[in-house]
Amino acid sequence: MSLFLLNILLAIAWSALTGSFQPIDLLFGFVLGYAVLWAAFRSPQPPRYFMRIPKLIEVFLFFIGALIKANLRMAATILSPRMPLRPGVVAVPIDLKHFAEVVILANMITLTPGTLSLDISSDHKTLYIHTVWLDDPRQFQNEIKHDYERRVKEIFET
């Protein structure tokens, strides 16, 4: 059984013991289960699971911050009398190994206001992205690669 499934079972067991299946109780049970599993599997080379969860949390927090910034920028654009839009489509080369990584990256981009993943090349090496604020295509590519793609890669590499 994978450690993730065991952690889920521990979270459900915690909720059953407390008699509450509210999301906050399940989340607390998951965190508690993670701590128990970490203590039980302490070794010089811990399983990848224990490195992956902190990376997931880091990516989640980054994404929430990116959403807030993009929403504020979109609100400022809409409320501006001149609406400073510079729409454009950029082909961003990506270096992701798994199709799941590509899907996660494309969804993160699409969920961020002002950007939209349009298409992926047949070899899964180029992602076509529409943005409403295209000042410099190279800078936009670097932002996607450094801010988004790098973080998605880190989840799967740990």
- Going residue by residue through the chain, which has 158 residues, state the pLDDT in tens, using 9 for 90 and above: 688 899 999 999 999 999 999 999 999 999 999 999 888 887 777 788 888 888 999 999 999 999 999 999 999 999 988 888 999 999 999 999 999 999 999 999 999 999 999 999 999 999 999 999 999 999 999 999 999 999 999 988 86
Give the model's pLDDT for residue 1.
62
pLDDT digits (tens, 9 = 90+) for 34-53: 999 888 887 777 788 888 88
Domain boundaries, the chain: 3-40, 49-157
* DSSP of the chain: --HHHHHHHHHHHHHHHHT---HHHHHHHHHHHHHHHHHHT--SS--THHHHHHHHHHHHHHHHHHHHHHHHHHHHHHHSTT---B-EEEEEE---SSHHHHHHHHHHHHHSTTEEEEEE-TTS-EEEEEESB-S-HHHHHHHIIIIIIHHHHHHHH-
